[in-house]
Structure 1
Amino acid sequence: MAERGVQQKASDLFIECLEAEGCEYIFGVPGEENLDFLDSLSRSSKIRLVLTRHEQGAGFMAATYGRHTGKTGVCLATLGPGATNFVTAAAYAQLGGMPMLMITGQKPIKKSKQGRFQILDVCAMMGPITKYTHQMASSDNIPSRVREAFRLAEEEKPGATHIELPEDIADEHTDSRPLQRSLVRRPTADAKSIHQAVHAMENARAPVLVIGAGANRKMTGKMLLEFVETTGIPFLTTQLGKGVIDERHPRFLGCAALSAGDFVHRAIEDSDCIINLGHDVIEKPPFFMRESDGPKVIHVSTKTAEVDPVYFPHIEVIGDIANAVWQMKEAITPSPSWDFDHMLAYRRAELEHTAPLAADARFPIFPPHLVQQVRDCMPEDGVICLDNGVYKIWFARGYSAYLPNTVLLDNALATMGAGLPSAMMSAMLYPDRKVMAICGDGGFMMNSQEMETAVRLGLNLTVLILNDSSYGMIRWKQANMGFKDWGLEYGNPDFVKYAESYGAHGHRVTSSANLRDLLAHCRDTPGVHLIDCPVDYSENDQILNKDLKALSKAL
């Protein structure tokens, strides 16, 4: 680091500021407007450049870094088309609560000689989908703007930030120096609100915990487990709350993967007091409130509730969630009149209902059986990264998560194309853990070029492609809504040869037993593996809707 008072190039200062924030990787596709920045980065001993094949893949990797670590992931693109390719990844991070900083280049802003060639107002474009966006107009301001971008990206609710670095600003010289990170602790909940929440729980007949996206943070899981063990109150999760507590726990009621009508929703309906932890309106609500009656709802979060026609909590406990749960645990006296029998019966009924489905070894592969095969294959700390498709519902409902962030799915933006880059980042961060990307054929092809990146990086990774040669989720809904089956089928490449063309290992499933053997082989063999797995979604509607409603009503 240059001494104070000594001039240095602005791009060198920018890299020093990133190093001061603890940046480890920059993912991206540089352009000519980034060349000063790229040259400065080449001299960094602390930051690794990860060159991807598309800016969207870089953004998904940066967001996943933030999701796993709680620290800001950083990605890089040029101006114009490079910046626009970040838009989906920005929305993915913003809605999903993943800290990420996007750095984009720009033509000179002081003396431009190229008219409007490739020039968009990128900051205006990023404004609605980020927490912060800024065009650097002076090299002296780089330290404060980088510090602010990281601060806001990591502050609850985490999300996306953006800085545009024009090439003439990058080439300036300045004597500014990086700012130190500040020590920040989140406020704790007010004692009166804790008392009100505890009083409501103690006087309820059947309280229940709902663990949402905002509760999927470090330390929160530990406190929640202690709370459940102390009180015996059952819990369920939203899709983004999976794994906060080990789902093998006897008080686990399930994951709210469907909009309504599932066993877990019947368990919620049996409660007269819902403790809603880390509720985020980006997820489909696991329950709907009514104005005149219904259960008492306690909102526990870092921020006050966003009220809408179906969510208007009676009590709000605002502050650090882990601390709030600890305070409630210390204050509560479990009530002898609590009755959880009906709730737990719904969970037992679900397990009884799904067991024969999971054992159905038909070919093409039946989704419940696929979920069971993957769960049997993956170790406790293994990470599965789902793209978006109808299979996501099956995994959310049926795949037991044992640890936080071992089931990475997107129930916020719900974009296709993120599964492979997300798994690549997971494999980079945790080289000693087993990682699997689970993608529909449609979603995989949206960023399939990142297979080359995975091979080049020497990752150990399995990519499981669920092949039905169509956009299966939309096709399913098309049928449910009474439309004719039309416009959603396509052809696929030979995925085995496709994988091999990148230097990966390609495999094809030919039977249920073959799937089990291939999953084990790819798990235990180094390198990048792709498995082409034909799937049968023909009974989605019958199993996920009609049967479940009939069975759960009968209880």
Structure 2
Amino acid sequence: MPKGSDLLVAALENEGVDRIFGIPGEENLDVVESLRTSKIELVLTRHEQAAAFMAATHGRLTGRPGVCLSTLGPGALNFSTGAAYAHLGAMPMIIITGQKGILSSRQAKFQIVDVISSMKPITKMARQIVSASSIPTIVRDAFRVATEERPGPVLLELPEDIASEEAEAHLVPPHPIDIPVAHPKAIERAAQMILAAKRPLIMLGAAASRPRATGELGGFVHRTQIPFFTTQMGKGTVAGGTNLYMGTAALSERDYVHEAIDRADLIIAIGHDTIEKPPFFMGQKDQKVVHIGYMPANVEEVYYPDAEVVGDLGPTLKLLADELEGKLPNAGALLSLREHILSHISDRATEDRFPVTPQRLVHDVRQVIPEDGIVCLDNGMYKIWFARNYRTYVANTLLLDNALATMGAGLPSAMMAAMLYPNRRVMAVCGDGGFMMNSQEMETAVRLGLNLVVLVLDDSAYGMIRWKQAVDQFKDYGMTFRNPDFVKYAESYGATGHRIESVGDLVPTLDKAFNAGGVHLVAVPVDYSENTRVLVEELRAKVKPFEQASERRPAESSSPESVVAPEGI
């Protein structure tokens, strides 16, 4: 008769799971034994946090939940950042944790933490399994909850005595669940607002990057011919090479793309999730917003749409385009701003200064990454530059986190991408601070035989916070550190290390690393002085074309004090 762990693994196989990421403990030994004889690969990581980031990225890229495994107490709690990462970022994931036996307590309260209660606020569902025979139905429900809108993490706690308990139970076959299409009246209402607009503009947000959604988005933009911009997590949902692309809102206001945003009389927000840092602030006179999404809009101080179209994005947008195609004489009214906006974004992109500037860094990375190549960012100042300057052509080819915005996720995220797409170029871009938070996973990457390039930006500081400290006129304190010799550090894990000594070395070194295969670390010194010159001084001094005092928000000011360093990046 099968035991609980056998039923768990069989149920996971039934859901199509082929890998589980994590670090087992003694409370998981029955599960490990059941995995040993299954079709599922146990991918051992060096920290539970990395396993959670990998599982979340699996969900983000495939739409199918990734699975991670830990023991009880300290191991389970190490999943908390990854759970929050998936919860805020809407990434489907299944977390399986162990626990001491619940039918007896031979070890009293040793290592026992109430993991269920601690994880409830950062998961969609958290429950303890108390009967082996219930495992197949609980697993099926967990995958359903993790996948349905809004996607996210689900925690299952399996006590060791339930894992070893013998029981009979039938597997529950999964079945597709179709999302309803928006109500015809909602589509008609939105169509009338768009037809009446004089300067419409599309915004593509985080939910537009769901794997099932991206196909119809390009068709909607093409059929309406309305220009578009993206949020940071919406990049790539429609090809940035199209002549309708206006830029990415890497900041909340006053960047060049906001010249179009501020001028628009109607913003069609597709897939916007207010968990992202605001791409713009509502409140301009006569500007309307139509929210189109899988879920109703969250009403916030900075986002309160005038109309909502709620339903499956693909078919809903097709029906809306049917109402609009060929009927929008004002569709391209804002396109006259496009060249002005994009020319500023590409300014100084080939400057030969060394250490490398962020603009040159983004430019050179784009040169070596094919259209379907994947760049995974950790969190730091460079994220703003990649969001502004890196042009994407395929959905989910620039993975960044603008929801939890945690450090430490860049390398594990890239490892997952490299496992899923072994024939595509994959690069992790990390600051030295974020890289060192999970740098031990270099061993995991080498052990797995991945093809991966890790670009480490070396400024020996928590650079973004240090810059914000300076802009806010605080003393320089508490943000600097010493780094290891990154070349030797990479080599100690069996990877290949490189250090860039001149700006002209970057592209050849990256190309050489990709062509050689295997895991490579490329350390490059970075000059962040451009943060102040561009993101503070230049944006402070610029004058918005077509801006009129009557169209500005009452609280808006063009004084120098109104332009400050970006927050929450």
* TM-score of the pair, normalised by structure 2: 0.94
Q: Identify the match of residue 545 of structure 1 among 530, 536, 544.
A: 536
Equivalents in 2 of 1:339, 1:242: separation in Å?
21
- Percent of aligned pairs sharing the same letter: 54
Alpha carbons of structure 1 residues 84 and 495: separation in structure 2 relative to 1, 3 Å:
same
Farther off after superposition, 275-284 or 363-372: 275-284
Alpha carbons of structure 1 residues 552 and 234: separation in structure 2 relative to 1, 3 Å:
farther
Equivalents in 2 of 1:305, 1:200: separation in Å?
18
Q: Identify the match of residue 16 of structure 1 among 2, 10, 13.
A: 10
Contact 1:33 1:79 in 2 (8 A): yes
Contact 2:253 2:281 in 1 (8 A): no
1:357 is paired with a residue of what secondary structure?
A: coil
Structure-to-structure mapping, 1:6-405, within 5 angstroms = 7-45=1-39, 47-290=40-283, 293-335=285-327, 337-338=329-330, 340-341=332-333, 343-405=334-396
1:50 is paired with a residue of what secondary structure?
A: strand
Q: Identify the match of residue 434 of structure 1 among 418, 425, 431.
A: 425
* TM-score of the pair, normalised by structure 1: 0.96
Equivalents in 2 of 1:245, 1:308: separation in Å?
26
Equivalents in 2 of 1:268, 1:437: separation in Å?
31
Equivalents in 1 of 2:317, 2:461: separation in Å?
45
Alpha carbons of structure 1 residues 132 and 336: separation in structure 2 relative to 1, 3 Å:
closer
1:400 is paired with a residue of what secondary structure?
A: coil
Equivalents in 1 of 2:50, 2:488: separation in Å?
22
Deviations 1:493-521 (A, max 9, x none): 00000000000000000001111211111
Equivalents in 1 of 2:255, 2:331: separation in Å?
21
Farther off after superposition, 264-273 or 350-359: 350-359
Equivalents in 1 of 2:440, 2:384: separation in Å?
26
Alpha carbons of structure 1 residues 539 and 228: separation in structure 2 relative to 1, 3 Å:
same
Q: Which amino acid aligns with 1:34?
A: N
RMSD over equivalenced CA pairs, Å: 1.3
Equivalents in 2 of 1:274, 1:351: separation in Å?
20
Alpha-carbon deviation of 1:554? 4.8
Farther off after superposition, 331-340 or 271-280: 331-340
Alpha carbons of structure 1 residues 288 and 334: separation in structure 2 relative to 1, 3 Å:
farther
Contact 1:227 1:329 in 2 (8 A): yes
Equivalents in 1 of 2:54, 2:146: separation in Å?
15
2:476 is paired with a residue of what secondary structure?
A: coil
Contact 1:276 1:297 in 2 (8 A): yes
Q: Which amino acid aligns with 2:63?
A: G
Alpha-carbon deviation of 1:214? 1.0
Gaps (5+ residues) in structure 2?
A: 547-569
Contact 1:262 1:549 in 2 (8 A): no
Alpha carbons of structure 1 residues 347 and 382: separation in structure 2 relative to 1, 3 Å:
same
Alpha carbons of structure 1 residues 339 and 72: separation in structure 2 relative to 1, 3 Å:
closer
2:348 is paired with a residue of what secondary structure?
A: helix
Alpha carbons of structure 1 residues 289 and 12: separation in structure 2 relative to 1, 3 Å:
same
Q: Which amino acid aligns with 2:240?
A: E
Which residue of structure 2 lines up, in the alignment, with residue 465 of structure 1?
A: 456
Equivalents in 2 of 1:464, 1:208: separation in Å?
35
Alpha-carbon deviation of 1:115? 1.5
Q: Which amino acid aligns with 1:286?
A: P
Which residue of structure 1 lines up, in the alignment, with residue 497 of structure 2?
A: 506
Alpha-carbon deviation of 1:434? 0.3
Contact 1:506 1:531 in 2 (8 A): yes
Alpha-carbon deviation of 1:392? 0.3
Which residue of structure 1 lines up, in the alignment, with residue 522 of structure 2?
A: 531
Alpha-carbon deviation of 1:313? 1.1
Equivalents in 2 of 1:177, 1:53: separation in Å?
35
Farther off after superposition, 406-415 or 308-317: 308-317
Which residue of structure 2 lines up, in the alignment, with residue 449 of structure 1?
A: 440
Contact 1:239 1:411 in 2 (8 A): yes
Deviations 1:105-148 (A, max 9, x none): 00111111111110000000110000011111111111111111
Equivalents in 2 of 1:214, 1:175: separation in Å?
40
Q: Which amino acid aligns with 1:54?
A: H
Contact 1:203 1:335 in 2 (8 A): no
Q: Which amino acid aligns with 2:315?
A: N
